[in-house]
Structure 1
Amino acid sequence: MKLQIVPARTGWLWVQLGLRTFKSQPLALAALFFLSMASMSLVSVLPLIGPVIALALLPSVSLAMMVAASEAAHGRKPTPALLLVAFRNGSQRMHSMLVLGGLYAAGFLLVIGASTLIDDGTFASVYMGQTPMSREIAEMPEFQSAMWLSMGLYLPLSLLFWHAPALVHWHNISPIKSLFFSFVACVRNIAAYAVFGICWVGVFIASGTLLALVTGVLASVIGAAAGAIMVTMALMLAAMFFTSLVFTFRDCFSPPDEPGDAQSQANPPGLPPAAH
């Protein structure tokens, strides 16, 4: 496995590929993402350990969407069975994915815990859904400081886990090494990831603005359904974003050079061909 450095413009290409791949199998990819979110929501209602288990499942959900996107990129229809792909690829990989899930949950809880040192847990309570957001809370300086601290601490955590599930699944890398390689790949390709993030923010803002205008004009017709439409669109956009992740992984890593077919060297089995 080798790290590859890509130009900044590749970030926009990843967004385009994600949108194009989602367009090829919109119902299958959206259904898989909705099922993943529903499963995490159901698990989170378990007393005490439910929210922790839900957090630990996020790396597996990310991997499921990457594998599903790869299937769609190859012209195959993703199935709901891919939701369990992280646990069906041998005992070693399953153990590694469980370790990744535990580490992610622990890291996320540490980030949230750090925010409680600033606002006595207000941001954490709002984020975990225990306290409804209000204008008074949002305007509190302590709440805003806790929010920015959490965002700042979550960034390196997300870089650590960005590629880790895929490295475990496609390259059989150990959990700790996969975290290290993921972080290094993101940092070395920071320009491409900055473009990737900015473009996705633009897509989200443009889509949200357009939908708000449409629902505003048709408010008298759709009525109370406007809120449900907005939530559905947000989930669809999130599914598109997760669909694009596999392309960031594909272009940042390749197997070691070996004699044989050049295309097989460019991508592990199951990944879509690299764009040139």
Structure 2
Amino acid sequence: MQARTLPAPRGWMWILDGFALWKRNPALITFLVFGYWFCLLIVAAVPFIGQVLMSLAMPALSLGIFNGCKAVAEKRKAGPEILISGFKQNLPEQVKIGGIYLIGTLVVLGLTALADGGILAELMLGKRKLDDATAEDPALMFSLLIGTLGSTPLMMAYWFAPLLCGWGRMSAVKAMFFSFVACWRNWRAFMAYGLGLMIAVLIPGLLISLLGLLSPILSTLPAIALPLIFIPVVFASFYANACDVFDHIGPDDAA
């Protein structure tokens, strides 16, 4: 599996490509994205094992969104049921990806706990509120650095893995390896992509804040509309960068 090495400006284009894809069928892509989050919330609510089940189901559900984006890109008809289509594509390996990602996340949280006594882990799990004293704790800053350094390679390994596993019929370990390599080769484009997403949030956010100073009522509608548009566009941009980095993802590539 060969991943192309793209120039940094391609990261900006992924956002534009994602927006263009979303515009083709905003209803379907928006439904798939928020349906994805709704399904994860329902699974996470299962007593005792909800968090584990959520992690295991996440790759297959995310693959359903990619299948929907692919159908929109190819101008094929697709309905809401495509959200669960990822469960029919190499499911055992998809579950393994979720398990590996969960274990990696727990390891990273364990390392941060050694640095701050578990403050960051409790904040992430909702067991502690972020007050002024906690925010100013030097141990928390150090654990945030550890968490960032530890979670970045884990996210790189996960980024393309569901697609490579589902469409390329790869094993979980192989898919995560190729995903990491692809992200590493394109770190410049991903830096530009991350910067572009930050700007795409900050500028509308500032405009909404200014509008709120003039009229809180007038700012309500764009404040609601922004996440309803921005979040699906971001997910569509995930599909765009996968298609850009890998010219084709299929069983032939896996061979």
The TM-score normalised by the length of structure 1 is 0.82
Task: Give the CA deviation at 1:101.
Answer: 1.1
Query: Which secondary structure state, in structure 2, belongs to the residue aligned with residue 171 of structure 1?
Result: coil
Identify which of 118, 142, 147 aligns with 1:145: 142
Matches within 5 A, 1:28-67: 28-67=28-67
Cα separation, partners in 2 of 1:147 and 1:232, compared to 1, 3 Å:
farther
Mapped partners of 1:188, 1:245: distance in 2: 17
Q: What per-residue deviation string (whole Å, max 9, x for no partner) do you get for residues 146-186 of structure 1?
A: 22221221110110011111111221111111111111111
Query: Quick check: 1:29–1:78 contact (8 Å CA) kept in 2?
Result: no
Q: What per-residue deviation string (whole Å, max 9, x for no partner) do you get for residues 189-215 of structure 1?
A: 211111111111111222222233334
Task: Give the CA deviation at 1:106.
Answer: 1.2
Matches within 5 A, 1:20-169: 20-76=20-76, 78-89=78-89, 93-169=90-166
Structure 2 regions of 5+ residues with no counterpart?
none
Q: What per-residue deviation string (whole Å, max 9, x for no partner) do you get for residues 79-103 of structure 1?
A: 32122122123xxx11111111111
Query: Quick check: 2:63–2:163 contact (8 Å CA) kept in 1?
Result: yes
Mapped partners of 1:196, 1:40: distance in 2: 26
Mapped partners of 1:217, 1:101: distance in 2: 46
Task: Give the CA deviation at 1:233.
Answer: 3.3
Percent sequence identity over matched residues?
Answer: 27
Cα separation, partners in 2 of 1:142 and 1:236, compared to 1, 3 Å:
farther
Query: Which secondary structure state, in structure 2, belongs to the residue aligned with residue 46 of structure 1?
Result: coil
Cα separation, partners in 2 of 1:21 and 1:254, compared to 1, 3 Å:
closer
The reply to whether residue 244 of structure 1 matches residue 243 of structure 2 is no
Mapped partners of 2:39, 2:73: distance in 1: 25
1:258 maps to none
Task: Give the CA deviation at 1:48.
Answer: 2.3
Q: Give the number of the structure whose residues are more often helix, by fraction.
A: 2
Query: Quick check: 2:156–2:183 contact (8 Å CA) kept in 1?
Result: yes
Task: Give the CA deviation at 1:20.
Answer: 1.2
Task: Give the CA deviation at 1:32.
Answer: 1.4
4+ residue stretches of structure 1 with deviation over 6 A?
none
Query: Quick check: 2:12–2:192 contact (8 Å CA) kept in 1?
Result: yes
Cα separation, partners in 2 of 1:129 and 1:18, compared to 1, 3 Å:
same
Mapped partners of 2:123, 2:228: distance in 1: 20
Mapped partners of 2:43, 2:218: distance in 1: 32
Query: Which secondary structure state, in structure 1, belongs to the residue aligned with residue 173 of structure 2?
Result: helix
Cα separation, partners in 2 of 1:106 and 1:251, compared to 1, 3 Å:
same
**One-letter amino acid matched to 1:161:** Y
Q: What per-residue deviation string (whole Å, max 9, x for no partner) do you get for residues 28-64 of structure 1?
A: 2112111111111122222222122223333233322
Mapped partners of 1:231, 1:111: distance in 2: 34
Matches within 5 A, 1:163-202: 163-202=160-199
Task: Give the CA deviation at 1:236.
Answer: 3.9
Mapped partners of 2:79, 2:209: distance in 1: 32
Task: Give the CA deviation at 1:229.
Answer: 7.0
The TM-score normalised by the length of structure 2 is 0.88
Cα separation, partners in 2 of 1:178 and 1:37, compared to 1, 3 Å:
same
Query: Quick check: 2:59–2:95 contact (8 Å CA) kept in 1?
Result: no
Matched residues, number: 251
Q: What per-residue deviation string (whole Å, max 9, x for no partner) do you get for residues 208-241 of structure 1?
A: 222333344332x379xx5x97576346423221
